[in-house]
Amino acid sequence: MMAQEDRKPEWVDPDAEGTFATSIRKGVEGTHDGMPGSGEPVHPVPAGPRLRTLTKDQYVQGVRKGDRVVLARAITLIESNAPAHASLAQSVLTELLPFSGNSIRIGITGVPGAGKSTFIETLGTHLTAAGHKVAVLAIDPSSSLTRGSVLGDKTRMEKLARDPRCFIRPSPSGGNLGGVARKTRETMLLCEAAGHDVVLVETVGVGQSEITVRSMVDFFLLLLITGAGDELQGIKKGVMELADGVVINKADGENRSRAEATRAEFAHALHYLTPATQGWTTPTLTCSALTGEGITQVWETITAFHKQTLHHGEFAGRRRAQMLEWVQSMVGEHLRSMFYTAPEIVALLPRVEQEVAAGTITAASAVQKLLSAFEHRQVGNKS
C-alpha cells in the first residue's frame, strides 16, 4: 500500500433520496451482500497489534462517516491473516452489513495493453464529476514465487487518486485464481457502507479465471483494442460470454476507423453467443480513454442495464447468486485451511509428495492417503 495524505471528502448520506444508490437499494431491498473495493492510499497499518487500537464501534462509526483513514484500516484488518484479527473483523463486517449493497458493481477486464487503468481513471473522473462516490479495486498480480506485488495502479491513475470523491485500493492477488484478492468481497462491503455508490473492480487480465470476478459484480465489461492481431482468435469464447458490454478502446486518430471495424466484428460474433444476462443484448461500443470520447455512452449503457435488470428482477437475482457464491467460496476456503493445517497432513504431505515425484505411487493414491489421514483425524476428534 502506498502512502497518501488523508483527505476527508464531504460525507454523502447513502440514505438521501434521489441518489443513484437509493434507486439500487430500493430495487434489491433486503440484499446486504457487500462488495467492491476500497480506495485510496493511506499510511500503511501493520497487521499487528496496532490494528486493535480501534474498537469495533470506532471502526463502524468511522467507515459510516466516510473517514478514509478508518476505512483503509478496516480493510487492512479484514485482509489480515492473523487469527487474532479475525473475530474483530467479522464483528465489524456484521455491524456494517445492513449498510452495504447500495452500489452498482462493475468488473472490468481486458487483454494486456487494452488500457484498463486509463479507462478506469477516465470513467471514474467522469462519474465523480457527476456527483458519484467511486471506489476502485485494482487487483495486482502477485508473484507465484514470492507472493509480492508491485501495486502500481495508484501511479497509473494519478489524477483519479487525487480526486476526493474517489477511493482507490490496490490489492495483491495473493496468487489466487483470477487475480482476485481473498478478501475482495469484504472490502466491497466496507466501501459500500462508507457511501461509495459505484465500485469498479479491475482484474489482472483475460482468462477463464475471470469467472470469479463475474460472480461478484453486477455488470461485467470486456475492454479490447484493435490492431493486436486476430482479435477474435485472441479472446476466449468463455470470457466473451461473461461480458455485459464490450468496449473497443483507443478509438482515436488514425485508429478510429479500425476500431469501428473491430467493433462491428465483435458485434457480429456476439450474435452467436448466449447473452451473459437474460433479456439483455450485449452491446459493442468504441471509446478513447485518452480523449474521453465515448465514455459517456459507456456509462449510459451501464445505467440502462441497471434500469432494465432492476425492472425485470435480474439485478436482485444476481445479487442473491453473489451471496450464495460467497458462502460456497468461504466454505471451500475454510475446508482447505483445515486440511492443510491439520498436524497429520503437515507431517504426511512432504513424504507423499516425494513418492509422487519419484513415481512410486499415483496421484490418485496420494490423494487417498492424505484424505484417509484427515478423515481418521476427524473421527479421532469426535471420539
Interatomic CA distance for residues 382 and 370, integer angstroms:
19
Say what the pTM is. 0.77
Interatomic CA distance for residues 1 and 169, integer angstroms:
8
Task: For residue 176, give every residue at least 6 positions away whose Cβ sits within 8 Å of its Cβ, in sequence order, or none.
Answer: 182, 212
What grid cell was written down for 245?
458490454
Torsion-angle region of 195 (φ positive above 0: left; ψ -120 to 50: alpha; else: beta): left
Which positions of the chain have pLDDT values less than 70? 1-52, 140-156, 171-182, 204-209, 227-237, 379-380, 382-383
- What is the reported pLDDT for 16? 33
Interatomic CA distance for residues 299 and 288, integer angstroms:
13
- What is the reported pLDDT for 47? 43
φ and ψ of 109, to 5 deg: -130, 170
- What is the reported pLDDT for 141? 55
Kindly report, residue by residue over 319-329, the tens digit of the pLDDT.
998 888 888 88
- What is the reported pLDDT for 314? 93
Domain spans, the chain: 20-313, 322-382
Residue 320's nearest CA partner among 20, 24, 25, 32 is: 32
Task: Please say whether the beta carbons of 46 and 34 come within 8 A.
Answer: no
- What is the reported pLDDT for 31? 32
Task: For residue 312, give every residue at least 6 positions away whose Cβ sits within 8 Å of its Cβ, in sequence order, or none.
Answer: 279
Interatomic CA distance for residues 31 and 372, integer angstroms:
40
Kindly report, residue by residue over 185-214, the tens digit of the pLDDT.
889 999 999 999 999 998 866 555 577 788
CATH homologous superfamily for the domain 20-313: P-loop containing nucleotide triphosphate hydrolases (3.40.50.300)
Opening angle at CA 112, ends 106 and 113, nearest 5: 100
